[in-house]
Amino acid sequence: MTVKLFISAITKFLLGVILVGLLLFLPAGTLNWFGGWLFMAILFIPMFCAGVVMMIKNPGLLASRLDAKEKRGRQSTVVKLSGLMFLAGFIVAGLGVRFDWYRLPMPVCIGGAVVFIVAYMLYAEVLRENTYLSRTIEVREGQKVINTGLYGIVRHPMYSVTLLLFLSMPIVLGSVWSFLIFLVYPFIIAARLKDEEKFLEEELEGYREYKQKVKYRLIPFIW
């Protein structure tokens, strides 16, 4: 662990908290929003804990995820579309509170929070299984194909988990309209996967054989 990495991690974490808070509560026009605070808690408390663990046990992985910049043109477009999805989804959820649009019942919001937390635990497991994981599409020196654990079920378990994470977010926030916006994510991730697999076939030794062994990309028995 270095002081520079620590400062970078804390700075980006705090900026994330502030940005998401503004995107949610400014459109809502109030701080009296249970779903908003619940979402902030289940998003940033586990994120902080995961960051601390990575900083202690695998600072290289933390550094690679903090400094990720997508270089492939098509993937950069996918990342930008995802950003727009979050921007629109959070703002619409906040506006739903301000203008009293149809809100999901609190038990449904809490159920969404449970799904989100379970998905976050699965995300941590994916990070544990594959220390080569990066936020960008790349192959690092010495990287090998991981084919055990969750990687023995689907080829891209990280994306499978993000489906649960992202689709549960608007449910926690109690917004039907925001959920409709987040439904574009499966299409965004499908476009990313097709390009990523083409890259991995060319650059990662053993990936073609891995595709033959593990048939499903994202969802077992479906795709």
Beta-bridge mates of residue 103: 175
Long-range contacts of 182-189 (CB under 8 A, 24+ apart): 182/85, 182/89, 184/81, 184/85, 185/82, 185/85, 188/78, 188/81, 188/82, 188/85, 189/78, 189/159, 189/162, 189/163, 189/218
How far is CA 142 from each of CA 132, 139, 145, 203, rounded to the nearest angstrom? 9, 9, 10, 12
Instruction: Please report, in tens digits, the pLDDT of each residue of the chain (223 residues total).
Output: 577 777 888 888 899 999 999 999 999 999 999 999 999 999 999 888 877 777 777 776 666 666 655 555 556 777 788 889 999 999 999 999 999 898 899 999 999 999 999 998 888 888 777 766 655 555 566 677 777 788 888 888 888 899 999 999 999 999 999 999 999 999 888 888 878 888 887 777 888 888 888 888 888 888 8
Residues 6+ apart with CB under 8 A from 73: none
* Nearest in space to 7 (alpha carbons), one of 55, 61, 78, 74: 55
What pLDDT is recorded for position 15? 93
200 near 186, Cβ under 8 Å?
no
Tell me what pLDDT residue 65 has.
65
Does the structural domain 3-213 have CATH classification 1.20.120.1630?
A: yes
Domain extent listing, the chain: 3-213
